[in-house]
Chains A and B, each alone.
Chain A
Amino acid sequence: MADKHIDDVSGVETTGHEWDGIRELNNPLPRWWLWTFYACIVWALGYMVVYPAVPMLTGATKGLLGYSSRAELAGEMAGAKTAQGAIVEKISASSLPEILADPQMAQFATAAGAAAFKVNCVQCHGSGATGGAGYPNLNDDDWLWGGKAEDIHQTIAHGIRYADDAESRVSEMPAFADILKPEEIREVSAYVVSLTGTPRNPAMVEPGKALFADNCASCHGEDAKGNREFGAPNLADAIWLKVKGEDQIAAQVRQPKHGVMPAWQARLGDATVKELAVYIHSLGGGE
């Protein structure tokens, strides 16, 4: 390096570089800063040894502490589970009326049920539990198989027409295409529409009523209000699960479609199914 040059004004040594008469002062880093920097390097080396750091072909070095963020998450989840353990166990051991009667359990079950619903149920029933064509709305007071907490619990636990569960609720509406003539199917459809609205041809209602009494009333009831024993829908109310209008009713009579719901008891466990039942029951239609 060039010979030492001291800046006149500041009395500080310059680096010896000169650009158009301008010299750069040589103010070295403060000692404490330098030592902090060295300490950081030492710290970083230790960190690399203790924690996972160096990427290899199939993963990374494990580090002496054996730390991993995944294990930390698992630990936190386990901690949360332990923290909730007592009340979850209590819910497991209690009957549904007991859960509903206990404000603490009911509140926990409703919140937990809402969370489980968002993961397992929204795919068919929708995020607001409003369902869709073929998938029941769980907010209203129209229940195919019953709206008491126990009924809801049975449905969630064992499903509907779910072949893999022996306790699943099962029913099947016959295909009337083979039993009734096309004209008769139109008549019975006109009658069903007349229960809540105005059919296209009022003349068909009377013969339809007779056909209904002979063929349909055994499941749907004399007054067409359905039968929860068989999951037979109420045809005399404002809510239509699968069909809308005369033609679609006729199609359903000819060749019925049936919904299937899986059984959840085995997959989610007793407590979660109870929580789901409490949550569905709280949506406004619970009986």
Chain B
Amino acid sequence: MNLYTAKKPKTEPANGAPKAGPDEPLYAARKKIFPKRAEGRFRRFKWLVMLITLGIYYLTPWIRWDRGPFAPDQAVLVDLANRRFYFFFIEIWPQEFFFVAGLLVMAGFGLFLLTSAVGRAWCGYACPQTVWVDLFLVVERFIEGDRNARMKLDAGPWTFDKVYKRVTKHAIWLLIAIATGGAWIFYFADAPSLAFDFLTGHAAFVAYSTVALLTATTYVLGGLMREQVCIYMCPWPRIQGAMLDDNSLVVTYNDWRGEPRGKHQKKVAADSNAAGDCVDCNACVAVCPMGIDIRDGQQLECITCALCIDACDSVMDKLERPRGLIAYATLNEYESNMALATDNGRIGIEPVRVRKADGAFSDSVRHFNWRIILRPRTLLYMGVWTAVGIGLVVALLSRDRLEVNVLHDRNPQYVLESDGSIRNGYTIRLLNMIPERRTVLLSMMGLAGAEMKIPALTDASDRVFAIPVEPDKVTTLKVFVTLPKGAVGDAREGFSFIAEDRASSEKDVYRANFNTPGAK
């Protein structure tokens, strides 16, 4: 059996009725889902993840970070107008965008690593769709009550109470959606002043349209479509299939100990018939936000939120049976235990085969072993992830905050002066990438005898100029380089422009060429 090969549903008629043929509609109507509130360690973990992720999302733009008078004081800011990206002590210019690309590569490999080790953990805990649906469900439960109350309300007539509850619910959902879209724009402008402008109607049109768009997507995807997004719209579950293998942890119903299930297991056990642990209480089905029955085996709908584990564990606790009837398990373990319970598939599941006489599990039953997480596949992902991370840190620590770019005049390529000397023109850009004023020394290396002239600064000629540069800005200068007649050679000559800041001992070199009439 392969992962995601769902077992045949129990409801299929066994009498050889015609299989699903062309008459079966291809469109499946949506089934309404009313997830019950779950309690347990995974639910607690999910609350924590929700608190942290939502906290990061909503609060980050409001963190202040002092960068002096020439740069914004917002800790995380994507300044599109000025083409700067600020992240705490890091400032990124557009040409350094590879840092962001590197972070995305790391995020990708991190996700690969997580998925191959613990399955669809992203889907179950951290995906914004999951987090916001969880949040919306909290509101729904608060207004309309838990599963049974909601089912009753939904089936009931449109009384005043129902209208009131529905309107309240959707109003709160919309408020959350507006807050979600609203928080997004604060990453792109100074948050406090944008908030003031936004509320007083003075913000840019794009701010309002962005909030409107994200409000709509949050409300529709998180409130109305919910599990449909995961099942039909999201490409990630399809990609994840490539990362999972027989050693990945997935939420598994251990039918080798659960079957045969029955509502009256005590009686069955008393009759000395083999009875499984599953009491068919349907608690796992009631809590499932995807509306599936995990006991049908692996299904593409399962986002491994593990709420069914919590639900089942609490039932097992009440029945004083060991937890883990539904548990995180690898396919390898599961199949080994199934083979044990069914004598390699020759017979139906017999609980006695996996138990000792005292009811404890037999020693042959395989349990999860943490060492499985360390295998070539995960080590490879971990290695790539670490390598990219180290590369980024090294690049970040060794990057220069001073750069010189040179554009050589092409028309004219050179100018003959009246004394026979040759002049070339260059447009020089000095990039001062720190929010402080400083003086940059622009000098030449090579091209003996030649001198620079910068008309914007002074009429004098020299080989070194001290150029004041503005904080966090590009300074553009026209520079003329003149080579005396006696020094003009036959070929194009190479030389270097050197920009350096003696105070910070930063230095950037640009290798330029000098055109002469002899150069072909």
Interface residues of A (CB under 8 A from B): 9, 127-130, 137, 139-142, 234, 237-239, 282, 284-286
Give A6 to B425 CA distance when docked, in angstroms: 82
Alpha-carbon distance A239/B417, docked complex (angstroms) = 7
Contact between A237 and B411 (Cβ–Cβ < 8 Å)?
no
- Contact A142:B411 (CB < 8 A) given known A284-B423, A284-B425: no
Please give the residue numbers on chain B whose beta carbons come within 8 Å of chain A beta carbons, in ascending order.
Answer: 22-23, 411-412, 415-420, 423, 425, 455, 478, 480, 485
CA distance A238 to B422 in the complex (A): 11
A102 to chain B, nearest CB (A): 13
Q: Are B417 and A141 in contact (CB under 8 A)?
A: yes
Is A237 in contact with B419, judged by CB distance below 8 angstroms? yes
Q: Which 8 A-B pairs have the closest CB atoms?
A: A128-B411, A237-B418, A238-B420, A142-B418, A139-B415, A128-B412, A130-B412, A140-B415
Q: How far is the CA of A142 from the CA of B417 in the complex (A)?
A: 7
Partner of A141, one of B411, B418, B455, B485: B418
9 more A-B residue pairs beyond the given contacts A140-B415, A238-B420, A239-B416, with a C-beta to C-beta distance below 8 A: A130-B415, A141-B417, A237-B418, A237-B419, A238-B416, A238-B417, A238-B419, A282-B455, A284-B423
> How close is B18's CB to chain A, nearest CB, in angstroms?
14
Report how far A285 CA is from B423 CA in the complex, Å: 10
Given the known A-B contacts A127-B411, A130-B412, A284-B423, are A238 and B480 also in contact in the complex, defined by CB atoms under 8 Å? Answer: no
B-side contacts of A238, CB under 8 Å: 416-420, 485
Closest to B423 in A: A284
Q: Return the chain B residue nearest A287 by Cβ.
A: B459
B22 touches A140 (CB 8 A): no
Cα A286 to Cα B415 with chains together (Å): 13
Q: Are A140 and B416 in contact (CB under 8 A)?
A: yes
What residue in chain A is nearest B411 (Cβ atoms)?
A128
A282 to B480, CA, bound (A): 11
Q: Which residues from chain B contact A139 at a C-beta distance below 8 Å? A: 412, 415, 423
Question: Which of B22, B418, B455, B480 has the most chain A CB atoms closer than 10 A to its own CB?
Answer: B418
With CB as the reference atom, state the residue of chain B lying closest to A130: B412
The docked-state distance in angstroms from the alpha carbon of A282 to that of B22 is 80
* A282→B419 CA distance, assembly (Å): 20
Taking CB as reference atom, which chain A residue is nearest B413? A128
Q: Which residue of B lies closest to A196 (CB)?
A: B420
Q: How far is the CA of A109 from the CA of B190 in the complex (A)?
A: 36
Contact B417 A137 (CB under 8 A): no
Q: Closest A residue to B421 by CB, please name it.
A: A238
Q: How far is the CA of A160 from the CA of B417 in the complex (A)?
A: 23
CA of A142 to CA of B419, assembled, Å: 9
**B409 — nearest CB in chain A belongs to which residue?**
A128
Q: Is the CB of A140 within 8 A of B418?
A: yes
Contacts of A142 in B (CB 8 A): 417-418
Kindly state the separation between the CA atoms of A208 and B22 in the bound complex, as whole angstroms.
Answer: 110
B22 touches A9 (CB 8 A): yes
Q: Given A128-B411, A139-B412, A284-B423, does the pair A9, B417 have CB atoms closer than 8 Å?
A: no
**A143–chain B nearest beta-carbon distance, Å:** 9
Task: Determine the distance from Cα of A239 to Cα of B423 in the docked complex, in whole angstroms.
Answer: 13
Contact among B23, B415, B418, B420 with A284 in the assembled complex (CB-CB below 8 Å): B415
Task: Report B413 CB to chain A, min CB distance, Å.
Answer: 8
**What would be 16 A-B contacts, judged by CB atoms less than 8 Å apart?**
A9-B22, A9-B23, A127-B411, A130-B412, A137-B416, A140-B416, A140-B418, A140-B423, A142-B417, A238-B416, A238-B418, A238-B419, A239-B416, A284-B415, A284-B455, A284-B480
Most A CB contacts (10 A, CB to CB) among B22, B416, B425, B455 go to B416
Q: Complex Cα distance A137/B418, Å? A: 11
Cα-based distance from A267 to B455 in the complex (angstroms): 31
What distance in Å separates the Cβ of A269 from its nearest Cβ neighbour in chain B? 27
Inter-chain CA distance A234–B485, complex, in Å, is: 18
Query: Do B411 and A140 have beta carbons less than 8 Å apart?
Result: no
A129-B413 Cα distance, complex, nearest whole Å: 11
**Chain B: minimal CB distance from A230 (Å):** 18
* Chain A residue at smallest Cβ distance from B22: A9
**Bound complex: CA of A130 vs CA of B409, how far in Å?**
13
Which chain B residues border A284 with CB–CB below 8 Å? 415, 423, 425, 455, 480
Q: Chain B's nearest CB lies how many Å from the CB of A20?
A: 18
**Whole-angstrom distance from the CB of B302 to the nearest CB of chain A?**
32
Write out the residue numbers on chain A whose beta carbons fall within 8 Å of the beta carbon of B478.
282
Q: Which residues of B contact A141 (CB under 8 A)?
A: 417-418
Chain A residues near B417 (CB, 8 Å)? 140-142, 238-239, 285
Of chain B, the residue at the smallest CB distance from A143 is B418
CA distance A137 to B423 in the complex (A): 13
Inter-chain contacts of B22 with A (CB < 8 A): 9
Q: Write out the residue numbers on chain A whose beta carbons fall within 8 Å of the beta carbon of B455.
A: 282, 284, 286
Please measure, in the bound complex, the distance between the C-alpha atom of A238 and the C-alpha atom of B423, giving whole angstroms.
13
Give the nearest-CB partner of B456 in chain A: A103
Residues of chain A within 8 A of B412, CB atoms compared: 128-130, 137, 139
Question: Which of B411, B415, B425, B480 is close to A137, meaning CB atoms less than 8 Å apart?
Answer: B415
- Select from chain B the residue with minimum beta-carbon distance to A226: B418
Contact partners of A285 in chain B: CB under 8 A: 415, 417
- State how many angstroms separate the Cβ of B459 from the closest Cβ of chain A: 10
What is the bound-complex CA distance between A141 and B418, given in angstroms? 6
What chain A residues lie within 8 Å of B425 (beta carbons)? 284
- Distance to closest chain A CB from B95 (angstroms): 25
Q: In the complex, what distance in Å separates the CA atom of A238 from the CA atom of B517?
A: 13
Q: How far is the CB of B424 from chain A (nearest CB, A)?
A: 10
Q: Return A244 CB to nearest CB of chain B, in Å.
A: 12
Closest to A281 in B: B455
A282-B453 Cα distance, complex, nearest whole Å: 12
